[in-house]
Every structure is written in C-alpha cells, then in structure tokens.
Structure 1
Amino acid sequence: MSVHPEAQNGAAHVPRETTLSDADHGAGAGAVPTEDLEDHVNAGTTDTGVASELPWTPIAEEAERATKVLHPEDLRLPRPRRRRVLTVANQKGGVGKTTSAVNLAAALALHGLKVVVIDLDPQGNASTALGVEHRSGTPSVYEVLLGEISLADAAAVSNQSDNLLCVPATIDLAGAEIELVSMVARESRLKEALTSEALDELSPDYVFIDCPPSLGLLTVNAMVAAQEVLIPIQCEYYALEGLSQLLRNIELVQSHLNPSLEITTILLTMYDGRTKLADQVTAEVRGHFGDTALRTVIPRSVKVSEAPGFGQTVLTYDPGSRGAMSYLDAAKEIAERGARRETS
C-alpha cells in the first residue's frame, strides 16, 4: 500500500473530498443543499477592510471545517469530574466499532482531554489506526491481562495527539481466551489491571476499551472493567438481529459481575441518507433506546475507511470531511451528556 508522504510525517493531510453525496449532506455540520450551491456566498474582507462577496466552493468549506477541527479554540469540551471507562462493544463485525472507538477518542484528545484506548481485539485494528506499534513481542494488553506488566508499561503515545495513548493488541492476544479459562477470576483480569492506582499513572479523563466482534471472555472482561457500554449500530437490518443477544449478555454481567455497568450511549453508524432503510433503522433504534441514542449519526464516508491505511484517524487524515465532523459532534455530545448526568 502506498502511503502519502505527509501522512508518514504525521502532518495534517486535508485532501479534497472525491464526491459530495446525499449521504454526506445527511449528517455532520455545515451541509449546504445542492440546489443552493450557486447562490451560497461567504462574506470576505479585503486588505482595506471593505467587505467583499467571495463565491462558495467545496474546497473553501472543507478548509473552514478543517480549521475548526485542528484549531479548536472556540470548542471547550467539559472535563468529567470522575474518570469515565467505556466499553465499545457489538458482537457483529463491520458495524464501525473500532472506527468509532478510535475516532471518538481522537476527537476528545484533540480538544484537550486525556484519553487511553485499550485495544482488546487480537486483530489490532485500533492500534493500527492510532499509529502504535503492535508487532508480536511488543508490550501489549496480553501481558497486562496475564499480570506480567502494568498498564503504564504497555501504553504508548499515539502519533495523533500527545493526549492520546493506546495499549496495543498483538497477535498473542488471539490465544488469551484459552489461557484465561483456567485462571482464577478469569472474568476480572482486566478490571484488576485497571485499578485506580494503575490509571492514575496515566491520568486519563476517558478510557475506551475496544472489544473483539464476539461475546467471548475478552468482551466479558471489558464489561466487568467498565462503567459504561457504548454500542455502535450500523444502519442496516442485519445489525439489529444480533442486538438482543448483546443486551442479554450485558444484563448477565450486570446481574452477576458488574452491577454498576450501564448502557449510556448508542451510536448509529454508516448512515446513508439516500435509503429509506437507514431512516427506518434509525427510527427503530431511537424508539427502543430513546435518549440513549446520540442525535449525531455517522455517515458512510470513504475518508473514514481510508484513514487507517495511513495509520491515522479521520480527524487527522481529513479533518474537513463529513466523517471527521460527525465524530467530533458525537464526541462533544458524549462529553456534554456525561457532564449533565454528573450534575443531575
């Protein structure tokens, strides 16, 4: 795979959007209806201070959005009073689980909050997206689960932000579920590693645990260690079929292992505004989960899919894209909802 030279250097790469589809207009901030494009103008200012009319262009709009992401002086996300540990879980693959975990974490980190992402998926996709080494032999979450090293020893700073750390997953984690079976308190191995003292060494405001696409022992460990569950749901029919099993498993963990666990966030992903199915799934999810579902939905976006190939999140790969803005809006909503819960 060829990698853009700017992406290798960690520089902000703001390529032009290939297309501007109806789905792009369906989510994110700042969308302008197609029929209004010719009439839409921005007020500019000349060197003499006289206002001038500059024609609107897609590149100008994207550049303005990218500036807001990369220079967030006007956006202040509330810092939680107590550390929030969220498990990002869904046993169905391909619903945007890892993508959502790393991009939400990056959005919070870019706006001044300290975030740790724990990659609990043997595929190591979250580690790849955050630009963290995860070859076999690298200190990883596998050794943390076995109690061989501390969380701080395994954590590495992401190239996306100094506020963003990742505990990587190596291929060794693939056999961890078998090894954990014979261990004492096998469901609580991650919880034992995420003690207040261990987390205080890293001092994060948020911890995101990216689970594998299964309901096995690694996912159970993540739910026992967390206070909250964030469920990404793809806006397609099949995504709803396995949801009931996931909810039953969460109820079992609440009943027997972690009574304080609660589902606090539902994030709708891969929304395509051109289809009625996306609206139907969205309506059904909102009808069932109510305010737990975020108002922000994540659109289908080529840029979101391309970013991991450059070892980046979409917020650094293409900060002006609709996908980046949508994840930024979702992160802002998560932070503000958490602040409201703390004060209520």
Structure 2
Amino acid sequence: MMRVAIANQKGGVGKTTTAINLATALAAIGWKVLLVDLDPQGNASTGLGVGHAGREHTSYDVLIGNASLGDSVVQTRVPRLELLPATMDLSGAEVELVSLTDRARRLERALDSVGSGRWDICLIDCPPSLGLLTVNALVAAKHLLVPLQCEFFALEGLSQLLQTVERIRLGFNPDLQILGVALTMFDRRNKLSQQVADDVRACLGRAVFETVVPRNVRLSEAPSHGLPALIYDLRCSGSEAYVRLARELMARLPREAVAA
C-alpha cells in the first residue's frame, strides 16, 4: 500500500480539498483508497459526509491505542473510498503522545497492522502544524505532497517544512520522498498569482506539478453538501484540475504501485 502525506504547516492552502478530491479521483478509477483524517478540525470527515454520529472510533483512538485501524474506518459515499475520521479529541493527542513509547510511529504501526490487500493507497490529511500529528504522518508515509497557495507568502515556511522532512529522513524514515508540490487557489485575474507560480517553479523546478488548481466557488461549496467536488460538480474548473492532478500523481508513483 502506497502512503502519501498531504502536508503544509500553513493553514488555508487547500490540503483537505486536495486530499478529498485526489482520494475520490483514485477511487473512481478502481483503486481501493484509505483517507486518514489527522486534523482535529475533522474537515476531511465532514467534507465526505461523515457526521459526528458516524465517528464512533477516530484517528485519536487509533493513535492512543484505544481502537484498531481496521475497526475504526468507515465507508464513505464514494465507492472504494474509506475514511479514518477525526474529531476535536485529536487536539489532545499532541500532549498524550508525548508520554507514549514510539510516539512518532503510532500511525505507522497502525497502518502496518492491516493486511496489504485491503487498500492500494493511503492519503493522510495533516493538520496545519509541524507537531507530533504531522510527524506521525511523515514517518508513516513514503511520499509527501505539498499544496502551495498561489499568494505572496506561498514560500514562507516551505523551507521549514523541508527541514522537517530532512530531520524525519535522518531520524525515522529514510525512504520519505517529496512526490511533488501542487499549486492551489490560482486566480487568473490576479497577476500576482502568475508571478508566485513562476517564482515557485523557478525555485523548485520539476518538483512542481504542471496542474494548477484554480480558485473555484464550486470547490468551496462542495464540503457543505458533504460531497467531494468531483461528485458535486465534475465539470467545474476545480474538479477538472483535480482529475488532471490525480493523473500526474499516478505518473509519479512507483510503477509497481500503479500496476497494483
């Protein structure tokens, strides 16, 4: 099972929207997908239509050891897409994990405990921080996808994230690789968006995906209906962009993973 963490310590850059719609696109082509909601806000859970009544066991329970991963996942409205939901309880995990053994490997161990054939890929929606929750995601994952907002401060903090990735490689997970940087919230009416996109590509080169996700009202509306944008409005510009991004993501994954 491939494991991809979707992370950026800056908030509001499109991490959850990216996680939900990439997971939906991969499920639509026949992949068995697990989406792990590791953000205490639980937006990925809400955006997939899983209400609080349907979150009997959550990522908090799995990390703390109160429940197994297999018993905690729920089926979403999207065929072949399962979710490990989150609630605000997860905000306390940062403190509770400190006293636990192997606190950085709790998610990795939970994923390892599930049989290899249940899912083809796991996407992990990280919180907007570089705390223990994000560290758990980076230790458990083999690949990192970074959503980057096309605004003035897009590169602010990116170096800190890359430094954290390097520390994770040295201390816990030498196999962690950056799958790519996805430019999000691109406003074609704003020259600054194009300037930022050009600057990011000049700095990071081929690490940046070709697909640029635009600002789109339908992307913003979809979560309020408990649906991915790809189901809410497949023909909107945001959905079309995420379909293209999913194709690029597949092209960058190891061939054996795509073949599986």
TM-score interval, normalised by the smaller of the two chains: over 0.9
**Structure 1 equivalent of residue 129 of structure 2:** 214
Partner of 2:178: helix, strand, or coil? Answer: strand
Letter in 1 for 2:81: L
TM-score by length of 2: 0.95
Alignment of 1:28-39 (within 5 A): none
2:55–2:86 CA contact under 8 A, matched in 1: no
- Paired with 1:183 and 1:150, the residues of 2 have a C-alpha distance of 16
Question: How high is the sequence identity, in percent, across the aligned residues?
Answer: 50
- Structure 1: gaps spanning 5 or more residues: 1-82
Structure 1 ranges of 4+ moved more than 6 A: none
Letter in 2 for 1:96: G
**Structure 1 equivalent of residue 46 of structure 2:** 128
Q: Does 1:143 align with 2:57?
A: no
Alignment of 1:192-211 (within 5 A): 192-195=109-112, 197-200=113-116, 203-211=118-126
Post-superposition Cα deviations, 1:244-293, rounded to whole Å, max 9, x if no partner, equal 11111111111111111011111000011122211111112112222221
Q: Alignment length, in residue pairs?
A: 258
2:179–2:252 CA contact under 8 A, matched in 1: no
Partner of 1:117: helix, strand, or coil? Answer: strand
Partner of 1:244: helix, strand, or coil? Answer: helix
**Structure 2 equivalent of residue 278 of structure 1:** 193
Q: Does 1:248 align with 2:163?
A: yes
Shift of residue 199 of structure 1?
Answer: 4.6
Structure showing greater Rg:
1
- Paired with 2:248 and 2:177, the residues of 1 have a C-alpha distance of 18
1:106–1:315 CA contact under 8 A, matched in 2: yes
- Paired with 1:85 and 1:252, the residues of 2 have a C-alpha distance of 19
**Structure 1 equivalent of residue 80 of structure 2:** 163
Letter in 1 for 2:138: M
Q: Please point out which of 152, 160, 177 is paired with 2:70.
A: 152
1:136–1:171 CA contact under 8 A, matched in 2: no
- Paired with 1:267 and 1:108, the residues of 2 have a C-alpha distance of 17
TM-score by length of 1: 0.72
1:233–1:266 CA contact under 8 A, matched in 2: yes
User: CA 1:312/1:190 → structure 2, altered by over 3 Å: closer, same or farther?
Assistant: same
1:228–1:264 CA contact under 8 A, matched in 2: yes
User: CA 1:120/1:342 → structure 2, altered by over 3 Å: closer, same or farther?
Assistant: closer
Q: Does 1:114 align with 2:38?
A: no
2:37–2:86 CA contact under 8 A, matched in 1: yes
User: CA 1:171/1:327 → structure 2, altered by over 3 Å: closer, same or farther?
Assistant: same
- Paired with 2:160 and 2:253, the residues of 1 have a C-alpha distance of 26
Q: Please point out which of 97, 100, 103 is paired with 2:18.
A: 100
Shift of residue 174 of structure 1?
Answer: 1.2
Shift of residue 340 of structure 1?
Answer: 5.4
- Structure 2: gaps spanning 5 or more residues: none
Letter in 2 for 1:300: R
2:150–2:185 CA contact under 8 A, matched in 1: yes
Shift of residue 122 of structure 1?
Answer: 0.5
Post-superposition Cα deviations, 1:151-177, rounded to whole Å, max 9, x if no partner, equal 111111111x22101000012111011
**Structure 1 equivalent of residue 141 of structure 2:** 226
- Paired with 1:248 and 1:158, the residues of 2 have a C-alpha distance of 35
Q: Please point out which of 150, 162, 187 is paired with 1:235.
A: 150
